[in-house]
Structure 1
Amino acid sequence: MTLTDDLRQLLEPASPGQSRAPQVMRPQPAAPRGWESGIRYEPGGTMVVTAPPAENPPTGEDDWRARVEEMGLTIPDGFRVRLVEAKHDPAAWHRDAQGEDAVTRAVWRCRYVIEPAAPVWMSSGDVDALVRDAMRRRRKPRPAVDTADRALVVVYADAQAGKVGRDGGTPELLGRVADRFDRLDDHIRDLKAVGRAPTAAYWADAGDCVEGFENTTQQAFTNDLTLTEMIRVHRRISFEGLDRLAGRFGRVVAATCGSNHGRVRRGKDAVGPPVDDWGIEVMSQIADAYALNQDAYGHVSFVMPERWRDTVSLDVAGHIIGLSHGHQFPRPDKAGDWWRGQTFGRQPVADASILITGHYHHFRAQQMGNGRLWIQAPTLDNGSDWYTVRSGEVSTAGLLVFSVGPDGWDDLRIL
């Protein structure tokens, strides 16, 4: 047969047995955004199927399966069809034939998931067997004592030496601090007994070491120490606390930050740069004294803010810890906003995964963002009666401690 014969056969009318009525493709209604018919493949073999619009609502699993298979999909063995979304669209428009006007006709738009009939974990057995095997698993051996770098963080906050309140004055403050130092000794022994002994210690002074005389008028009538006596008491307390840590650890780091009660003032106005602070000055005095005895204190180092800043950050066992007094934000609930702002401003605490603050005289720990922790330290002072009268809240005194290791923080306690 020649090419001319082929063309002639194609042009000749078909026999009655071969004739078929022409098929007219009915235009589909325009689908809203996100409801276009199609298939999206997900990890693990799951498929998300958006079916064409239908006049009748979905009725059951057999109906769901039929509608998906009408799209030409084959449901694999061990998989099921599940309806995840059904939407009734009363104003969907159609053009039934080419050239005809569009009309509205209510339709149902449905989305299905083709997924394994049973979760993957059930392939290993039933739920009872799964629970039994998990509970009877062999425990991993505990790491040997002192094989990993672990650091003890001691937060000394808001002692406000010289302040008199419901819990007494200077004698009561000194007795309270001495008792907490004894509890600190016990805590260090407890950590060693359970195999989590620290290899280094960090002393974090969160500020407000002295009460001062320029913050409120009543301080001139309620304090039981002069300003120089307040500073002397704070210096000797800090020296004692650091001396205890220096005798137990091969590495000790002491850090402090600026605060509102510690700030040098003329009236209520701050004098000089942010580092013009009695707490920072006392830490500098102790650093000078320790430098004179390298044999006893050569392993003790000191961290203080830069001249125009009042916060610091420390690398503690591979984790960045920020230290701030907390008076920079107006109330505790604003801590997160302030911390985020510090990050944008590239301030010392910007990269910290743990932020320590004082100032608000109560304990609080709150997770923030992705893996960050804010720790609000309790106070060591004699009580804030003015706040109790106004709010009814009473702060409980305590010395905050926690540990930092390769896996993050743990062993948080208030002594």
Structure 2
Amino acid sequence: MGALAEMIAEDEHETPPPPQATVSATKGSIDVTSDGATINNVVVDAPVNGDWTNVFKLFNLDADLFEVVDDTVRMSTWQQSKGTDDGGRDTVQLWSYSARFKRRIKARLSDAEVEMRRRELRDWVPPVVVKSADTRRPVAAVINLADIQGGKSEGGGVAATQQRLLDGLVNVQAWLNRMGEHHNITELVLVNNGDPMEGCAGNYAAQLFTVELNTRGQMNFVLDIWEKYACQLFPQFDKAQFVSVLCNHGELGRMGSNKNQTSDSDNAGGFLAETLKRVLDSRPEFDHVEWTIPHDQMNVYPTAAGVPMGFCHGHKVSGNDANGFTKWLDGQVRGDLNAHQAKVWVTAHRHNFQSWDLGSCSVFQCPSLDGGSKWFRDSTGKYSNSGILAFLVGEHFQLGWSDMAFL
């Protein structure tokens, strides 16, 4: 017989490869951890023979992510009676496997690929962006006036508070000018984030003896400041909003108590906003202004540049950090779907700036515009910086906001 015939004959008698496990299984379980997995009594109808692909498929897992730990494979086999299509009986061979696996270490990049990545990084240059006001998405600028507490004597009193607000207006205008070079700002949202006036009694023991303005004087001070901001900012934009919230220092029914004697609606945050609206409604340059003024609601939900927002003063929020706000928000959504739908949340009351990302929304806690607290600084040594929180909102960025500034 020739050499070629001998080779063909050998091929004809070559042992066929063993069958692989199929997904036909009757029982079994798997425990998956961050370190690996343990297969427990998985029953298949063909031997595994080192290929665990179809075993892991039973659990929708990728076998390439795992490898057997040492000598941990335990197996057994038996025959089992099975009915045939013609009504008779036959026997099938089944196998049961248990084994421990560890996760494979991901392959490291080769030196050649690392060098290629470095070369790409060295050669990369940012694309040239042609700015056009006609094609850029419209955005809204949000200006937050939080915790002015007009009439308070600390931190230089009314004179210093007024100067901070005027300096803040200059800074806001400069920021708007900078943002206008890169964004199509078509709307401005001016927000009273609460506590615009100090009040005269009921918030702390010495309040009645330290304020520099009585209630009437404090209200006039707030209206003067709000009108100054409105007259400067609103006419510059095609759209404008004034948003107000209710607050603790604005409760008008205290009568020397730390609780409202009437209802939540009896609040300076609502009354002063309504007064400002009456002042501006008679002037045609403010016809485009929309007003969000709560009755007795602690949360308000305006929309600007397509972005749903939520505002509250924050005195109903327990806790001083992200955990406290998250717990509060989780509770709010039980009875108020708007609370969860807001993509940007803004609060105040804590007199210091904080920000955190909750996934479904971004949260800003505003700094205050008052002069600080001597008691708090004497007691803890801590103090916060005064300022105005400003940012852009719109569909121009995936988070719904950009360009946050502390002014």
Listed one character per residue, the Cα deviations across residues 113-150 of structure 1 (whole Å, up to 9, x for unaligned) are: 8999898xx9xx83332443365266163442363111
Instruction: Give the aligned partner of residue 210 of structure 1.
Output: 197
Instruction: Give the aligned partner of residue 380 of structure 2.
Output: 391
How much has 1:35 moved relative to structure 2? Answer: 6.4
Instruction: Give the aligned partner of residue 7 of structure 1.
Output: none
Q: Does 1:414 align with 2:406?
A: yes
Determine helix, strand or coil for the equivalent of 1:339.
helix
Instruction: Give the aligned partner of residue 276 of structure 2.
Output: 286
Query: What TM-score, normalized to structure 2?
Result: 0.74
Determine helix, strand or coil for the equivalent of 2:385.
coil
Aligned 8 A contact 1:208 1:259 in 2: yes
Instruction: Give the aligned partner of residue 400 of structure 1.
Output: 389
Question: Counterpart of 1:219 in structure 2: which amino acid?
Answer: Q
Determine helix, strand or coil for the equivalent of 2:392.
strand
- Decide whether aligned partners of structure 1 residues 130 and 158 sit closer, same or farther in structure 2, where only a CA change above 3 A counts: same
Determine helix, strand or coil for the equivalent of 2:185.
coil
Question: Counterpart of 1:365 in structure 2: which amino acid?
Answer: S
- Decide whether aligned partners of structure 1 residues 352 and 89 sit closer, same or farther in structure 2, where only a CA change above 3 A counts: same
How much has 1:350 moved relative to structure 2? Answer: 3.5
How much has 1:261 moved relative to structure 2? Answer: 0.2
1:365 to 333, 342, 355: 355
- Decide whether aligned partners of structure 1 residues 252 and 219 sit closer, same or farther in structure 2, where only a CA change above 3 A counts: same
Question: Counterpart of 1:156 in structure 2: which amino acid?
Answer: L
Instruction: Give the aligned partner of residue 368 of structure 2.
Output: 379
Instruction: Give the aligned partner of residue 5 of structure 1.
Output: none
Uncovered stretches (5+) of structure 2, i.e. residues with no partner: 1-25, 43-47, 57-62, 81-96
Q: Return the alpha-carbon distance in structure 2 between the equivalents of residues 258 and 87 of structure 1.
A: 67
Q: Return the alpha-carbon distance in structure 1 between the equivalents of residues 238 and 268 of structure 2.
A: 28
- Decide whether aligned partners of structure 1 residues 248 and 385 sit closer, same or farther in structure 2, where only a CA change above 3 A counts: same
Correspondence list, 1:296-311, <5 A = 296-305=285-294, 307-311=295-299
Instruction: Give the aligned partner of residue 33 of structure 1.
Output: 29
Q: Return the alpha-carbon distance in structure 2 between the equivalents of residues 113 and 343 of structure 1.
A: 40
Q: Does 1:244 align with 2:232?
A: yes
Q: Return the alpha-carbon distance in structure 1 between the equivalents of residues 183 and 65 of structure 2.
A: 50
Determine helix, strand or coil for the equivalent of 2:224.
helix
Query: What TM-score, normalized to structure 1?
Result: 0.72
Q: Does 1:133 align with 2:120?
A: yes
Aligned 8 A contact 2:247 2:315 in 1: yes
Question: Counterpart of 2:236 in structure 1: which amino acid?
Answer: R
Q: Return the alpha-carbon distance in structure 1 between the equivalents of residues 229 and 125 of structure 2.
A: 44
Correspondence list, 1:61-72, <5 A = 67-68=50-51
Q: Does 1:356 align with 2:346?
A: yes
Aligned 8 A contact 2:318 2:328 in 1: no
- Decide whether aligned partners of structure 1 residues 88 and 202 sit closer, same or farther in structure 2, where only a CA change above 3 A counts: farther
Q: Return the alpha-carbon distance in structure 2 between the equivalents of residues 136 and 109 of structure 1.
A: 49
Instruction: Give the aligned partner of residue 86 of structure 1.
Output: 69
Q: Larger C-alpha radius of gyration, 1 or 2? A: 1
Q: Return the alpha-carbon distance in structure 2 between the equivalents of residues 191 and 201 of structure 1.
A: 12
- Decide whether aligned partners of structure 1 residues 84 and 241 sit closer, same or farther in structure 2, where only a CA change above 3 A counts: farther
Instruction: Give the aligned partner of residue 23 of structure 2.
Output: none
How many residue pairs were aligned? 341
Correspondence list, 1:7-406, <5 A = 33-34=29-30, 67-68=50-51, 83-84=66-67, 86=69, 109-111=99-101, 126-133=113-120, 136=124, 139=127, 141-145=129-133, 147-165=136-154, 167-193=155-181, 195-212=182-199, 213-264=201-252, 265-266=254-255, 267-294=257-284, 296-305=285-294, 307-333=295-321, 334-346=324-336, 348-368=338-358, 370-406=359-395
Supply the RMSD in Å over aligned alpha carbons: 3.7
- Decide whether aligned partners of structure 1 residues 355 and 117 sit closer, same or farther in structure 2, where only a CA change above 3 A counts: closer
Question: Counterpart of 1:411 in structure 2: which amino acid?
Answer: D
Q: Return the alpha-carbon distance in structure 2 between the equivalents of residues 246 and 35 of structure 1.
A: 62
Aligned 8 A contact 1:81 1:115 in 2: no
Question: Counterpart of 1:413 in structure 2: which amino acid?
Answer: A
Aligned 8 A contact 2:351 2:384 in 1: yes
- Decide whether aligned partners of structure 1 residues 411 and 50 sit closer, same or farther in structure 2, where only a CA change above 3 A counts: same
How much has 1:356 moved relative to structure 2? Answer: 0.4
How much has 1:214 moved relative to structure 2? Answer: 2.2
Determine helix, strand or coil for the equivalent of 1:199.
strand
Q: Return the alpha-carbon distance in structure 2 between the equivalents of residues 70 and 330 of structure 1.
A: 52
Q: Which moved more, 1:338-347 or 1:133-142?
A: 133-142
How much has 1:226 moved relative to structure 2? Answer: 0.6
How much has 1:68 moved relative to structure 2? Answer: 2.4
Q: Return the alpha-carbon distance in structure 2 between the equivalents of residues 221 and 85 of structure 1.
A: 78
How much has 1:315 moved relative to structure 2? Answer: 0.8
Q: Return the alpha-carbon distance in structure 2 between the equivalents of residues 86 and 31 of structure 1.
A: 23
Question: Counterpart of 2:269 in structure 1: which amino acid?
Answer: G
Determine helix, strand or coil for the equivalent of 1:253.
strand
- Decide whether aligned partners of structure 1 residues 155 and 108 sit closer, same or farther in structure 2, where only a CA change above 3 A counts: same
Aligned 8 A contact 2:72 2:100 in 1: no
